Structure 1
Amino acid sequence: MDENNDATETNSEAAVLGGLPLEPDSSMQEYYQLQNELLLLSISLMVVGFVSVWMAYSLTTALNYLIGACSGVVYLKLLARSVEKLGRSASKVSKNQLALFIGVIVVASQLDQLQIVPVFLGFLTYKAALIAYMFKALSTT
């Protein structure tokens, strides 16, 4: 009987790590699914945008777009991580990820090889993914 209590105690300890359950509840599972869908959609739009800009303009402009789009995906991931912490260890969304955007624009403005407009429009690709996801969600309901 003592062994069963020890096993139950060990299982309950294994189920909780640092006060947080290992198995996310259904709302967190939905959040992770949304996060993955948005990241995949952002990356897909980034690839389509890169190829389109390359065909319409030049490889240099397309690479500038790609730099901005990659930083937009990183920004989206940092924002998702900040939102995930809400309620557990933070009471508001951090603004640290905004430093990434500011840094990319400052670097683009200082280097002659980078163009600000393609970098900025590439950064906004994650917003296009958000809008596309919203329309997709509205059309299925």
Structure 2
Amino acid sequence: MVNLPETPAEIAPSEEETAVENAPPALERNTMREYYQLQKNLYLTCLGIAIVVFGSVWLVYSLAIALNYVLGACVGVLYLRRLAKDVEQLGENGRLNFGVNRLALLVAAIVAATQLQNLQILPIFLGFLTYKVAILVYVFGTTLFPPPRAGG
């Protein structure tokens, strides 16, 4: 049987929790600045990928399919934005809102694609995944070419 602590005195915060709670305001502002810079980088990377793929799809297939891809990419960016807002709220109140509302964006786009003849499911879905490609590009970029450390 597992022995659980019975009194609040037995429940001590971890060193990481204590460090975060006692962080100076300047460090907190710097961390949020880095977070907003990360958001900006992800949005710009997603935009760049979407433009390249849009042009490629337009040349290889057709404008209609390329526009379907752009619709999916826009839904993906909205999803990423909602995810970023949820992560930001996680820092404020410590609870993560599971993405039912975020997922509804993709479901609405797929349902619209099945109901309207001009829309196609696969290009919209692949466009939606553009935000994931942007995240992978960012992760690989920072892994292979790490930014210089401050003060080092």
Give the superposed CA RMSD. 1.6
Equivalent residue pairs, number: 120
Q: Which of 57, 67, 76 is the matching residue for 1:63?
A: 67
Deviation per CA, 1:23-80, whole angstroms, max 9, x where unpaired?
9611111110100000000011111111110001000000100100111111111110
Per-residue CA deviation, residues 83-102 of structure 1 (Å, 9 max, x unaligned), is 11113245113311111111
Q: Which residue of 2 aligns with 1:10?
A: none
Q: What is the aligned partner in structure 1 of residue 14 from structure 2?
A: none
Q: What percent identity do the matched residue pairs reach? A: 49
Please tell me whether residue 126 in structure 1 is matched to residue 131 in structure 2.
yes
2:52 is matched with which residue? 48
Dislocated runs of 4+, deviation >4 Å: none
Task: Give 5+ residue unaligned stretches, structure 2.
Answer: 1-24, 147-152
In structure 1, what is the Cα distance between the partners aligned to 2:117 and 2:28? Answer: 47
Whole-angstrom CA distance in 1 between matches of 2:49 and 2:132: 10
- Structure 1 gaps of 5+ residues are 1-20
Residue in structure 2 matching 1:107, options 107, 112, 133: 112
TM-score normalised according to structure 1 size: 0.80
**Partner amino acid, structure 2, of 1:124:** L
Query: What TM-score do the two structures reach when normalised by structure 2?
Result: 0.74
Q: 2:95 aligns with which of 49, 74, 91?
A: 91
